[in-house]
Structure 1
Amino acid sequence: MLNLEPLAALAANEMAGHDSMCANDAENIITKSLAVLAEQGLYAFGLFLATRKREQDRIPAQRIDQEARRLLQATGLASVEQTRAPDMPSFYRSLTATQPDESAVEALRRILLAKQLLETTLTYGRYAAKALKNES
């Protein structure tokens, strides 16, 4: 059995970054992306991250995407092929599709677990960014 919480905590710390000067930007984009994920789902989350235009939003969005891909692959919720998707929307859309080796019920379980794991990770990431902000 795989313990997901430590993996989520590690990914969250990387999402928050290590620069206290950019912690506020990281916290803002993490908070917004968490709201999109919770309200709209995985695909909307990917679209949100992909559409960030301002430099101070784009860098944390890319970091969130990288860590989300790494976490989902490490937990077996995404395949290596999926994580190699060329863009964010393609990756998150592939997560919501039923895979050839799973039933509809198994796909639903995987999708819900992936969403819950990312929600937990983003929540931890918010707190990590706040802590980083307070260090400066």
Structure 2
Amino acid sequence: MLNLEPLAAQAANEMAGHDSKRANDAENIITKSLAVLAEQGLYAFGLFLATRKREQDKIPAQRIDQEARRLLQTTGLASADQTRAPDMPSFYRSLTAAQPGESAADALRRILLSKQLLETTLTYGRYAAKALKNGD
């Protein structure tokens, strides 16, 4: 059995980054990403990250995407083929589709677990960015 908690915490710390001067930017984009994910789902989350245009939003959005892909692949919630998707929307759209040999019920469980794991990770990421900003 895989313990998801430390994997989520590790991904969250990477999402927050390591630069205390940019911690506020990371916290803002993580908070917005979490809201989109919670309210609209995985695909909207991917679209949100892909559409960040301001320079202070682009880097944290890319870091969130990279860590989300790594986390989902590590936990087996996404395949290696999926994580090589050419763009963010394609990757997150692929997560919402049933995989070959997967029943509808199994697909729903995987999708819900993926969403919940990312929500937890982003919540941890917010706190990690706050701590980084405060110098803790």
Bin for the TM-score computed over the shorter chain: over 0.9
Q: Distance in 2 between matches of 1:81 and 1:111?
A: 17
Q: Distance in 2 between matches of 1:135 and 1:101?
A: 48
Who is 1:79 aligned against? 79
Q: Distance in 1 between matches of 2:72 and 2:19?
A: 25
* 1:51-75 per-position Cα deviation (integer Å, ceiling 9, x unaligned): 0000000000000000000000000
1:62 aligns with 2:38: no
Q: Which portions of structure 1, spanning 4 or more consecutive aligned residues, are displaced by more than 6 angstroms? A: none
Within 5 Å, give how 1:5-84 maps onto structure 2: 5-84=5-84
3-state SS of the aligned residue for 1:97?
coil
Q: Distance in 2 between matches of 1:121 and 1:112?
A: 14
RMSD: 0.7
Structure 2 unaligned regions, length at least 5: none
3-state SS of the aligned residue for 2:34?
helix
Q: TM-score, normalised by structure 1?
A: 0.99
Who is 2:133 aligned against? 133
Deviation at 1:101, TM superposition (A): 1.5
Identity %: 90
What is the letter of the counterpart of residue 113 of structure 2? L
Q: TM-score, normalised by structure 2?
A: 0.99
